[in-house]
Amino acid sequence: MSEPITTWGAWDEATQNDPYPLFERMRAECPVQRVRLADGHEAWLVLGHVAAQQALKDGRLSKDIVAALDEDPDVVDPGLPGPAFARHMMNLDPPDHARLRRLVSRAFVPTRIAALEPSIERIARELLEELEAAGPESIVDLVEGFAYPLPFRVICELLGVPEEDRVGLRQSFRTLFQPWSGSPPPEAVAASDMIVASLRHLVATHREQHQDDLVGVLVTASDDDDRLTEQELLSSLFQLIVAGHDTTTSLIGNGVVDLLEHPDQLRLLREDPDRMPAAIEELIRFSAPVPHATFRVATEAVDLEGVEIPAHEQVLICLGAANHDPGFYDNPAVLDISREPRPHLGFGHGIHFCLGAPLARLEARIAFGALLGRFPDLRLAVDRRELRWTHGDGLVLRGLDELPVRLGQPA
């Protein structure tokens, strides 16, 4: 077995702020290679577009983290709140994956997502009004005031989380996802316990009184069909909140920076708002809010572009590198909202393709539309080099902790 040559993750600030030169160098060196992760585990890193697409749909690369932990507890870090909350679709293989995805999909049917549109527009408007009250030349934090609360409030509405519980829950998720190394700090454990207690309470109240929201749909699915266990129900709720807010926050935050840095592209978009859907796909490709897919474990030896991954080893697919593969995209390092559309891997691929993609696209369309439409003079309040992409682990999430801007006079 060859020695790991690079440590992957927990990068220095410069790499965290811009990992693309590293992605580029590693992919050019070899599209599939062995690395050591920051937690000490070893893994196979997939960086090329062809290999990434193949890996994402290869059933021999299992997502069943609990089985992998059973097999070899050292293979992967279970994270918080631990294996008891890890039985959701993102961590399962067929046939359980299909069963859970089918049940949860009931809450993601197009009519239910479309019905959220007025609420998302209202939330975007309210948040921007609050920011605007500071005055056009005041410095406001667009992450804290807009990019974070918008998707968080939307996922709370979709789930039916009562208003009075949202602030506490939001704070706990912020704490839980502060980066740490080694074992989790006490505040992260406390935040995780608080989230678990809130979710249990949410399910209990929905059992007492049925409501027509996502939790209501899932509770009914578990009661009527006896097909969703309590563990699967709670794990699914936890995963939906996690997958459903910080990701979109990063799309909005990273996307605003990208557009402000590329005034020609911003102008094109302002002149023709019909370009918005294409612009959103390009922003996801260009600066991946989710730079890597979640971990997979090989159940048997798998060949990826001529590199053999032995059984029981971890695989990490770098979507950010694959989405900048010059073998697949012309001028991949250029932000071009008019580029000839080619599918990107920013929402994954295969059976685990992002279930929330239609919701994320709708939220992004409304968020960018409301922000850019209302504030034609929006600009960064600090030098671009002062921005820090320190939110998230840089692997499955890459986002800004703060985005100081001046909104300028409203239109």
CB contact at 8 A, 81 and 184: no
Cβ atoms 80, 184 nearer than 8 A: yes
Place of tokens 């019909």: 274
3-state secondary structure of 318: strand
Q: Which burial class, exposed, middle or buried, applies to 351 when counting CB atoms under 10 A from its CB (0-12, 13-18, 19+)? A: middle
156 C-beta neighbours (distance < 10 Å), count:
21
**CB nearer to ligand HEM: pick between 192 and 247:** 247
Report how far residue 322's alpha carbon sits from residue 328's, in angstroms, rounded to the nearest whole number: 9
Q: Measured from the CB atom, is 50 or 190 closer to ligand HEM? A: 50
What is the spatial distance between Cα 31 and Cα 181, in angstroms, rounded to a whole number? 27
Site for ligand HEM in 29-68 (CB under 6 A): 56
Among 199, 321, 359, 370, binds ligand HEM (CB under 6 A): 359
Residue placing its CB nearer to ligand HEM in the complex, 83 or 408: 83
The C-alpha angle 26, 30, 31, rounded to 5 degrees, equals 90
Please give the residues from 231 up to 250 whose contact with ligand HEM meets the rule CB under 6 A. 240, 243-244, 247-248
Query: Least CB distance from residue 143 to ligand HEM, whole Å?
Result: 15
**Binding span for ligand HEM by CB under 6 A among 31-39, 199-207, 282-290, 387-395:** 282-290
Question: Is residue 347 within the footprint of ligand HEM (CB under 6 A)?
Answer: yes
Among 335, 259, 245, smallest CA distance to 290 is for 245
Distance CA 20, CA 241 (A): 28
According to CB under 6 A, which one of 354, 365, 381, 401 is a site residue for ligand HEM?
A: 354
For ligand HEM, the closer of residues 155 and 191 by Cβ is 155
Select the residue interacting with ligand HEM from 237, 283, 355, 380 (CB under 6 A): 355
Q: Which is nearer to ligand HEM, 206 or 349 (CB)?
A: 349
3-state secondary structure of 379: strand
Residues ≥6 apart with Cβ < 8 Å to 213: 107, 157, 158, 159, 160
Residue nearest to ligand HEM (CB): 356
Question: Most distant CA pair in the chain: distance in Å?
Answer: 62
Choosing from 128, 143, 290, 315, the residue that interacts with ligand HEM (CB under 6 A) is 290
The binder of ligand HEM chosen from 127, 155, 196, 395 (CB under 6 A): 155
CA distances, 57 to each of 69, 223, 267, 351, 356 (Å):
22, 32, 38, 7, 18
Instruction: Give least dist CB 20 to ligand HEM, A.
Output: 17
Owner of token pair 């600090």 = 382
Nearer to ligand HEM, 156 or 188 (CB): 156
Q: At what angle do helices 186-208 and 230-261 cross, to 10 degrees?
A: 120
- Taking the complex as a whole, the smallest distance from the CB of residue 239 to ligand HEM amounts, in Å, to 6
Residue 101 interacts with ligand HEM (CB under 6 A): yes or no: yes
Taking the alpha carbons of 85, 88, 94, 100 in that order, is the dihedral positive or negative? positive
Out of 170, 344, 352, 398, the residue judged to bind ligand HEM by CB under 6 A: 352
Of 42-50, 117-125, 192-200, 351-359, the segment contacting ligand HEM by CB under 6 A is: 351-359
Does residue 348 interact with ligand HEM by CB under 6 A?
A: yes
User: Using the rule CB under 6 A, is 89 a contact of ligand HEM?
Assistant: yes
Q: How far is the CB of 158 from ligand HEM (least distance, A)?
A: 7
Exposure of 4 by Cβ count < 10 A (0-12 exposed, 13-18 middle, 19+ buried)? middle
Q: Residue 21 corresponds to which amino acid?
A: P
Question: Binding to ligand HEM by residue 294, rule CB under 6 A?
Answer: yes
Nearer Cβ to ligand HEM (101/391): 101
Contact 347, 357 (CB under 8 A): yes
Candidates 32, 47, 65, 90: give the one binding ligand HEM (CB under 6 A): 90
Q: Does 149 bind ligand HEM (CB under 6 A)?
A: no
Least distance from ligand HEM to the Cβ atom of residue 211, Å: 18
Indicate whether 400 belongs to the interface with ligand HEM (CB under 6 A). no
344 binds ligand HEM (CB under 6 A): no
Find out whether 396 and 346 touch, Cβ atoms under 8 Å: no
Contact call for residue 293 and ligand HEM (CB under 6 A): yes
Single-letter amino acid, residue 132: E
Task: Return residues touching ligand HEM (CB under 6 A).
Answer: 56, 89-90, 101, 155, 240, 243-244, 247-248, 251, 284, 289-290, 293-294, 319, 346-348, 351-352, 354-356, 359-360
